[in-house]
Structure 1
């Protein structure tokens, strides 16, 4: 059975099909999996894992991922999910929605009425190189190189390249000091993205509301006039707030959780309090300060700390109630017991495979 690819979380909690091709090249529908007043936009996935792809394949799937999100955005507020997020089936998708329900709802409310605009500023690189070529340091080095055989001037040629690069960086930084403040004035937030190549002066994502979007057009026109056409401005949007709020979902491997619990001397179930108690007890025994003659003390302490952090992250995923096909509640997750008591964490293979770490993170585009 094909895995389920997740594109976004939207409000509404209504099932439906979207008229757009997904990462499976249109072989299946892109549709909504509802849970309460939320829904996940999903499709079948041709791959179980999108890590380690060849660049051209990664770009093809990424374009499909973005195409779906932008199509859904025409009808719904969208909380994007990180590219390449796959879960085994719709049941796990509902588990994700249930576990992250409060976080998803709060984030959708926070970004309601807001959109991302991407501004790229370019310069004429050949013109800039000509200007740099007229700098005194470059002129002197070029004269030295020209007067001697090529094989005698490798150091000077490297020095020329370094001076050119340093001059490019100084000029770009000076321009950004003039470009970014006017853009920040109209934005609710701003992320500076990596430059794709030397032809870029700036590559920024701006979070704006409707009024900010109109003001952005005015600021770009003003900047174009100020720089007298020497810079070229490209503005793309509106887009979903990918750079400011993207859902990241992380699962756990049974092997890593099992190793961590053994390091802390825990049984098949444990509370968060017991995890912390065992860690502090073992840390007091293994800390390098208490074992100054042991060359392995630091390594053992690092392993213990990793195990503790791993189990705390695992343990803090909360129990949720996911309705089954008949609408009845079925407890899923890794905690058992009543919410009024400290939950008990299960380390069984089934519980570990159901656990999900959910976070909303700012993202930068891939350079």
Structure 2
């Protein structure tokens, strides 16, 4: 490697782990094998990147997440904001690791825990049929506009859309509350995440003790069986605790 090449290289930072953590030699962003920069009780997991290559590709984000999720399997990890790159090991220590007792506290709080992300979505045709069947005003407007040209029923169609959206939102609040009442007792912490779309019910990040993960999965399997005709659930994890560490 030439001096010019060294000057063009920076350290992409994935996250922070304990200084005694076992870090596997796995590829990260741009295929570069990860390594570490240690300081006192903690160390940063990093990888070499070419500074002339923007780290913005979908594959880069996937590689970043794969590294962190792999680290989370064997011990606590504090993810660092995606895209963070520093010039060298000294900069990593000075900017990220030095005088950071909060990192040790975070790692202690995350010990034996991981993130599970739960997404719930309506079967759209089913929930729409429900609101039409349950609301006589919506049902009447739906029947009145059926088969009419758009220009001849424009006002009614707008009102119908507004009424349906409100009715679905009321159901969403009730269904989300019921689901959260079921799962939150199994989590140490949770973060409600932003969702979009008519079929959105709720998306929530759960910080779960490892010894309760199986109970969570079994609870959700039973819940999914009970609501599968109208709601679909998806549980993703274990993951690194992306939604529980702020913007380190």
Q: TM-score, normalised by structure 1?
A: 0.59
Aligned to 2:136: 136
How far apart, CA to CA, are the structure 2 residues paired with 1:199 and 1:143? 23
How far apart, CA to CA, are the structure 1 residues paired with 2:113 and 2:76? 9
Comparing both chains, which one has the higher relative contact order based on Cα–Cα distances under 8 Å and sequence gaps of 6 or more? 2
How far apart, CA to CA, are the structure 2 residues paired with 1:78 and 1:235? 21
Secondary structure (helix, strand or coil) at the match of 2:27 reads: coil
Equivalence map 1:101-116=2 (5 Å):
101-116=100-115
Contact 2:72 2:114 in 1 (8 A): no
Aligned to 1:86: 85
Shift of 1:71: 1.8
Aligned to 1:244: 244
Distance 1:246 1:197, change over 3 A: same
Aligned to 2:47: 43
How far apart, CA to CA, are the structure 1 residues paired with 2:77 and 2:45? 10
**Residues 275-304 of structure 1: per-residue CA shift (max 9 Å, x gap):** xxxxxxxxxxxxxxxxxxxxxxxxxxxxxx
Q: Which one is further off, 169-178 or 75-84?
A: 75-84
How far apart, CA to CA, are the structure 1 residues paired with 2:119 and 2:148? 42
Indicate whether 1:8 and 2:15 are aligned.
Answer: yes
How far apart, CA to CA, are the structure 2 residues paired with 1:46 and 1:121? 40
Distance 1:151 1:40, change over 3 A: same
Ranges of 4+ aligned residues in structure 1 off by more than 4 Å: 46-51, 146-149
How far apart, CA to CA, are the structure 1 residues paired with 2:85 and 2:236? 28
Distance 1:144 1:46, change over 3 A: farther
Indicate whether 1:33 and 2:32 are aligned.
Answer: no
Distance 1:67 1:131, change over 3 A: same
Equivalence map 1:202-351=2 (5 Å):
202-227=202-227, 229-248=229-248
Shift of 1:20: 2.3
Shift of 1:166: 1.3
**Residues 132-165 of structure 1: per-residue CA shift (max 9 Å, x gap):** 3333222322344358643233222211211221
Task: Give RMSD over aligned pairs.
Answer: 2.6
Contact 1:48 1:86 in 2 (8 A): no
Indicate whether 1:156 and 2:156 are aligned.
Answer: yes
Equivalenced residue count is 240
Aligned to 1:19: 25
Secondary structure (helix, strand or coil) at the match of 1:74 reads: helix
Shift of 1:3: 2.2
Secondary structure (helix, strand or coil) at the match of 1:77 reads: coil
Shift of 1:183: 0.8
Q: TM-score, normalised by structure 2?
A: 0.85
How far apart, CA to CA, are the structure 1 residues paired with 2:142 and 2:99? 61
Shift of 1:129: 1.9
Structure ranking higher in helix proportion: 2
Contact 1:190 1:207 in 2 (8 A): yes
Distance 1:105 1:220, change over 3 A: same
Equivalence map 1:159-178=2 (5 Å):
159-178=159-178
Unaligned runs of 5+ in 1: 249-367
Distance 1:218 1:113, change over 3 A: same
**Residues 174-215 of structure 1: per-residue CA shift (max 9 Å, x gap):** 101211012111111111112254333221111111232132
Secondary structure (helix, strand or coil) at the match of 1:167 reads: helix
Unaligned runs of 5+ in 2: 1-7
